[in-house]
Amino acid sequence: LGSIITEPAAMTLAALLLRDTLFSARSSERVKYFGLALLFVNVSIGGVMTAYAAPPVLMVASAWGWSTGFMAATFGWKAALAVVFNATAFVTLIARSVPASQGSEG
């Protein structure tokens, strides 16, 4: 049950942290939807980093003998790499679309 609550909670907390910058009225609809999609994808991808994170992994981990070490060595590093790549691509693409005056506000 903890796995089911974790992903929605992580997405909600991340969205709240990004509310004033990414999801503000100044941001375009394209940026908001792209950011929300990236948030969903990255949090979901992160569910394969341990044997206790994502519900599908949790269901088969004990039956197949998948420990947290196995998950990290087999899937976790790939998930972390994908999250870093996705976030970097998003920031790079979005930085080009943000006016210079908006980017300097704190």
Number of domains in the chain: 1
Residue 31 lies in a domain: yes
pLDDT (mean) for 4-19: 77
Q: How far is residue 96's CA from residue 106's CA, in Å, rounded to a whole number?
A: 18
Q: Which domain holds residue 82?
A: 2-100
Residue type, 81: L
Asked if residue 65 belongs to a domain, the reply is yes
pLDDT at 81: 94
Please state, in angstroms and rounded to a whole number, the distance separating the CA atoms of residues 106 and 104: 6
**Does any domain span residue 93?**
yes
Residue 29 has pLDDT above 80, yes or no: yes
52 assigned to some structural domain: yes
Q: Is residue 94 part of a domain?
A: yes
Mean pLDDT value of segment 12-24: 81
| Separation between Cα atoms, residue 3 and residue 98, nearest integer Å | 36
76 in Cβ contact with 57 (< 8 Å) = no
- The answer to pTM > 0.85 is no
> How confident is the model over 48-100, as pLDDT tens digits?
888 777 777 878 888 899 888 998 899 889 999 999 999 899 888 887 766 55
Position 105 in a domain: no
For residue 106, is it within any domain? no
Q: What is the pLDDT of residue 4?
A: 58
Q: At what angle do helices 2-18 and 29-45 cross, to 10 degrees?
A: 150
Amino acid at position 36, single letter? L
